[in-house]
Amino acid sequence: IQMTQSPSSLSASVGDRVTITCRASQAINTYLNWFHQKAGKAPKLLINDASILEAGVPSRFSGSGSGTYFTFTISSLQPEDLGTYYCQQDDTLPWTFGQGTRVEIK
Amino acid sequence: QMQLQESGPGLVKPSETLTLTCNVSGGSIDGSTNYWAWIRQPPGKGLEWLGSIYYSGSPYYNPSLKSRITISVDTSKNQFSLSLTSMTATDTAVYYCVASERFWGQGTLVTVSS
């Protein structure tokens, strides 16, 4: 299953609302995860099952969607949110990732 | 809090076999519902799932690796391992061991070069 994220990169100001989309090449129900990776670090799971926030993850992060279309939103961008965000489907093997969305702070 | 730590060579020659081990602490590899996975990331590129295994089940591999990959679990050492044969330059990457997508090792850079 091919996962396509949009945009590939974005630049936003602190406090801005940021939305990333992820499309699956076939329906994956809600078997969709979102990760955040800072430079030189391992990815961190933020959201699983399309909309379930992991413990300890700030509530400014949210996810929605099902089937083939998903969105990830940061309601108020913070400086520590810079990095690359990946969606990943774990509905069908082989699990696959989107190409990533690089988020920069203006 | 579960912690994972990769170990293995940082440099592998072309055509050789890579073996990486992931040490699991803070949890039992055979006492949980976790599944254990290897994911890699070539320098400057995205993430690629290599394969996963439940301690009591069969492993699942990325077909792109064909018959080159083996993932196994050693419950006596609370570890799981990755073996990747016939290494080439395109296998140069940071390799992560992962538990249920929730817990990640810090990653280990493996470079394939003569």
Distance CA B41, CA A39 (A): 12
A1, A3, A33, A93, best to mutate vs chain B, most B CBs in 10 Å: A93
- Taking CB atoms and an 8 Å limit, are B101 and A88 in contact across chains? yes
Backbone phi, then psi, for A30, in 5-degree steps?
-120, 25
Task: Please give the pLDDT value at position B32.
Answer: 67
Distance CA A52, CA A34 (A): 10
Residue pLDDT, tens place only, B10-48: 999 999 999 999 999 998 888 767 889 999 999 999 999
Q: B98 Cβ partners below 8 Å, 6+ apart?
A: B4, B36, B37, B38, B39, B104, B105
Q: Tell me, letter by letter, the H, E, C secondary structure of A8-76.
A: CEEEECCCCCEEEEEEECCCCCCCEEEEEECCCCCCEEEEECCCEECCCCCCCEEEEEECCEEEEEECC
Task: Kindly state the tokens that stand for A47.
Answer: 């959201």
The DSSP call for residue B16 is P
Residue pLDDT, tens place only, A38-73: 999 999 999 999 999 999 999 999 999 999 999 999
**Which residues in chain A are contacts of B62 at CB distance < 8 A?**
94
Task: Please give the pLDDT value at position B85.
Answer: 98
> Whose CA is closest to B96, among B60, B35, B49?
B49
- Taking CB atoms and an 8 Å limit, are B47 and A88 in contact across chains? yes
Residue pLDDT, tens place only, B59-96: 999 999 979 999 999 989 999 999 999 999 999 999 99
Q: Is the pLDDT of residue B56 over 80?
A: no
Cis status of the peptide bond prior to A94, with omega within 30 of 0: yes
- Taking CB atoms and an 8 Å limit, are A48 and B101 in contact across chains? yes
Burial (Cβ within 10 Å: 0-12, 13-18, ≥19) of residue A57: middle
**Which residues in chain B are contacts of A41 at CB distance < 8 A?**
106
Helices (H) and strands (E) in chain B, counts: 0, 11
- Taking CB atoms and an 8 Å limit, are B101 and A90 in contact across chains? yes
Distance from CA of B107 to the nearest CA of A (A): 7
Task: Please give the pLDDT value at position B15.
Answer: 97
Q: What region, left, alpha or beta, does residue A40 occupy, with left being phi > 0 and alpha being psi -120 to 50 degrees? A: left
Distance CA A8, CA A48 (A): 21
> Whose CA is closest to A33, among A18, A42, A43?
A43
- Taking CB atoms and an 8 Å limit, are B62 and A94 in contact across chains? yes
